[in-house]
Amino acid sequence: MNYCLIVMKKIVAFFGSAQIKEREKIYKDAMNCAKTLSLNNFKVVTGGYSGIMEAASRGAKEGRGEAIGVISKSFKGRKPNVYLTKKITTKDLYERQKTLIEMADYFIAYEPKVGTLSEVMMVFALRKNGEKVNSPLCLIGKKWLDLMTFLKRKRIFEKNLLKYTFFFEDGKKCSKFLINFKEVSVE
């Protein structure tokens, strides 16, 4: 039996609400998660604006890593967060989401609002289509576990889509998991 190690780019996309404030526990959790990953040579990519996106960008920058923001011309009046080390500008929301997901080989999603839910469902849609199937998707928070349980029970999701989906209560456990994650395929 031969084993082949699949080498990933070590780019992790963070998904999460733009409404999260700096004083909230979840902001600090995302910031510390991104910082830990950055200190372990991961690049961080986000949607580039406030909330979880800002927290992850800030953590990456504090970890002396790269904080890439995928921003959109269609977001009038929204300013990218100040922690970005690189900006990629897209024409609209669709291109923004596509770019964000295509860049990453690892995904972290904090408890969902509509935008976060859309990003995570796109990762699942790509998996169903044979893309990003070995990319870990880390879902942080109890709401994700409840939602995925419901989707499985109602047979909206096939079990194989959840193969590389992992649930965590916080970013500390998630970052430790990703640092040690190695994808090995059997040939």
Residue 16 counted as domain residue = yes
Its sign, for the CA torsion 176, 177, 178, 183, is positive
Residue 187 counted as domain residue = no
In the structure encoding, which two tokens stand for residue 82, read together? 């100040």
Which CATH number does the domain housing residue 98 bear? 3.40.50.450
Residue 101 counted as domain residue = yes
Percent of the chain with pLDDT strictly greater than 70? 93
- Confidence bin at 186 (pLDDT 50/70/90): very low
Domain total of the chain: 1
The confidence score (pLDDT) of residue 180 equals: 94
Residue 84 counted as domain residue = yes
Task: Provide the pairing of β-strand 184-186 with 3-5.
Answer: antiparallel
Residue 173 counted as domain residue = yes
The confidence score (pLDDT) of residue 176 equals: 97
Query: HSE (CB half, 13 Å, CA atoms) of 78?
Result: 20
Report pLDDT digits (tens) over 92-107. 999 999 999 999 999 9
Its sign, for the CA torsion 169, 60, 16, 50, is positive
Residue 103 counted as domain residue = yes
pLDDT at 9 over 80: no
Q: With the CA atoms of 134, 116, 112 and 157 taken in that order, what torsion angle do they form, in degrees rounded to the nearest 10?
A: -50
pLDDT at 187 over 80: no
pLDDT at 34 over 70: yes
**pTM (2 decimals)?**
0.92
Range of the domain at 95: 9-182
- Confidence bin at 158 (pLDDT 50/70/90): confident
In the structure encoding, which two tokens stand for residue 76, read together? 């009038």
Residue 72 counted as domain residue = yes
Residue 130 counted as domain residue = yes
